[in-house]
């Protein structure tokens, strides 16, 4: 039998409906949307405009001179989350602004940087003289091999790592393609005496000697608190510059994905290791290579022509 809805429960139901649009998003997306809406409201109020759809479209056009299409799309999505819906004309105008900005970006867009494992060998082979150097080098190597985002690296704890029979399991407790928040595991080779194994063991020794131990794998050396995602990105950027490598933390993830593709891993395998939610998300990271198309350069070169391309035999 269905009971009647009392006043108290009615209020709770309405409050839940008001929160559902925000709470249904991932924590990082929800934070971004709240930040975008706050910036939009502040701009509109500072310009003496009413808080409505028309003012939002004016704000969107103004921001198009400063940010890219992706940021504009986020502004629109954040607005839709906090409002019932945009009008048909409003949706069309917003879409036109985003498309026009993306068309301009195509003309000036630079190929994103990708840092390969071979480039990181100069970092791995350099001896660190202090615990900061050990920590920062491990951040680079582990982020690359496990295809970690900066936020994922920042959230890692010592308990998230398990090493068995030359395989290192990294437990990523929050990932975009983990909709049920069960956590995802990435497995990477980590045999004894490998660069990654040695760096990990040396960092464990450094951690064991500290008076204030931390549960976080990458922590602040002064107070043991976990590093923020922005701190992880800054450390990687400075470390790469130190060794003359042009790139960012995201360049490690991009480089690792292309390394795996060159080694013959399938896109499904790369997607699983890197915790991508969709094929389209992964495709934006990969570049065209002969190996990805099933061919490789011949071992010998003819005197009267270029190297011969030979199709690799299919297994099975």
* Vertex 54 angle, CA 52 and 60, to 5°: 105
Q: Can you give the pLDDT at residue 211?
A: 83
Sheet holding 184-189, edge to edge: 161-164, 167-172, 184-189
Question: For residue 313, what is the DSSP state?
Answer: P
Beta-ladder partners of 43: none
Q: Can you give the pLDDT at residue 175?
A: 63
> Within this chain, do residues 219 and 123 fall inside the same structural domain, yes or no?
yes
165: Cα within 13 Å, side-chain hemisphere: 1
Rounded CA separation 47/243 (Å)? 46
Q: Can you give the pLDDT at residue 1?
A: 44
Rounded CA separation 150/143 (Å)? 8
pLDDT of the chain, 316 residues: tens digit per residue: 455 656 667 767 766 655 665 566 667 777 888 899 999 999 999 999 999 999 999 999 999 999 999 899 999 998 988 776 789 999 999 999 999 998 888 777 666 789 999 999 988 888 887 899 999 999 999 999 999 999 999 999 999 999 999 999 999 987 655 656 678 899 999 999 999 999 999 999 999 888 888 999 999 998 889 999 999 999 999 999 999 999 999 999 999 999 999 998 999 999 999 999 888 889 989 988 787 777 766 545 444 545 555 555 555 5
> Within this chain, do residues 250 and 149 fall inside the same structural domain, yes or no?
yes
> Within this chain, do residues 87 and 207 fall inside the same structural domain, yes or no?
no
Answer yes or no: is 301 within a domain: no
Last residue of a domain, one of 89, 108, 127: 108
Last residue of a domain, one of 66, 84, 108: 108
Last residue of a domain, one of 79, 108, 137: 108
Tokens, residue 104:
């301009």
Rounded CA separation 105/123 (Å)? 34
Answer yes or no: is 297 within a domain: no
Rounded CA separation 132/264 (Å)? 35
Answer yes or no: is 28 within a domain: yes
State which residues form the domain around 65: 9-108
Rounded CA separation 57/211 (Å)? 55
Rounded CA separation 264/267 (Å)? 9
> Within this chain, do residues 172 and 268 fall inside the same structural domain, yes or no?
yes
> Within this chain, do residues 76 and 174 fall inside the same structural domain, yes or no?
no
Q: Can you give the pLDDT at residue 85?
A: 74
> Within this chain, do residues 126 and 94 fall inside the same structural domain, yes or no?
no
Q: Can you give the pLDDT at residue 299?
A: 47
> Within this chain, do residues 251 and 121 fall inside the same structural domain, yes or no?
yes
Residue 77, judged by CB atoms within 10 A of its CB (0-12, 13-18, 19+), counts as: middle
> Within this chain, do residues 138 and 285 fall inside the same structural domain, yes or no?
yes
Task: Give yes or no for a contact between 53 and 90, defined as CB atoms under 8 angstroms apart.
Answer: yes
The CB density around residue 309, as the number of other CB atoms within 10 Å, is: 11
Name residues whose C-beta falls within 8 Å of residue 73's C-beta, 6 or more positions apart in sequence.
98
Burial 20-49 (b: 16+ CB within 10 A, else e): eebeebeeebbebbeebbeebeebbeeeee
Q: Can you give the pLDDT at residue 55?
A: 94
Answer yes or no: is 299 within a domain: no
Number of H helices, E strands in the chain: 13, 5
> Within this chain, do residues 103 and 243 fall inside the same structural domain, yes or no?
no
> Within this chain, do residues 148 and 282 fall inside the same structural domain, yes or no?
yes
Q: What is the CATH number of the domain that holds 223?
A: 1.10.443.10
pTM: 0.69
Answer yes or no: is 1 within a domain: no
Answer yes or no: is 229 within a domain: yes
Report how many domains make up the chain. Answer: 2
Rounded CA separation 73/314 (Å)? 43
Rounded CA separation 20/34 (Å)? 14
């Amino acid at each position: 039998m269905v009971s009647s809805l009392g006043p108290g429960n009615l209020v709770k139901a309405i409050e839940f409906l008001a929160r559902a649009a925000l709470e249904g998003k991932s924590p990082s997306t929800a934070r971004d949307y709240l930040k975008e809406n706050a910036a939009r409201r502040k701009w509109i109020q500072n310009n003496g405009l009413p808080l409505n759809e028309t003012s939002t479209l004016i704000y969107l056009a103004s921001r198009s001179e400063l940010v890219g299409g992706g940021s504009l799309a986020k502004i629109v999505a954040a607005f839709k989350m906090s409002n019932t819906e945009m009008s048909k004309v409003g949706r069309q105008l917003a879409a036109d602004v985003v498309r026009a900005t993306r068309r301009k970006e195509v003309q000036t867009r630079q190929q994103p940087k990708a840092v390969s494992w071979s480039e990181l060998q100069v970092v791995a082979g350099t001896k660190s003289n202090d615990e900061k150097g050990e920590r920062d080098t491990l951040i680079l190597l582990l982020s690359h091999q496990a295809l970690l985002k900066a936020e994922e690296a920042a959230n890692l704890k010592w308990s998230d790592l398990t090493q068995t029979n030359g395989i290192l399991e990294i437990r990523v407790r929050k990932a975009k393609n983990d909709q049920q928040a069960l956590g995802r595991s990435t497995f990477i080779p980590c045999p004894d005496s490998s660069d990654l194994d040695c760096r990990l063991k040396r960092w464990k020794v450094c951690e064991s000697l500290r008076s204030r131990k931390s549960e976080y794998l990458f922590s602040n050396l002064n107070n043991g608190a976990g590093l923020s995602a922005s701190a992880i990105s800054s450390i990687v950027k400075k470390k790469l510059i130190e060794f003359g490598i042009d790139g960012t933390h995201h360049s490690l993830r991009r480089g690792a994905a292309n390394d795996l593709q060159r080694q013959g891993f399938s896109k499904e395998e790369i997607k699983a290791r890197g915790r991508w939610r969709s094929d389209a998300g992964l495709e934006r990271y990969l570049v065209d290579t002969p190996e990805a198309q099933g061919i490789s350069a011949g071992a010998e070169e003819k005197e009267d022509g270029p190297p011969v391309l030979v199709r690799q035999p299919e297994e099975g």
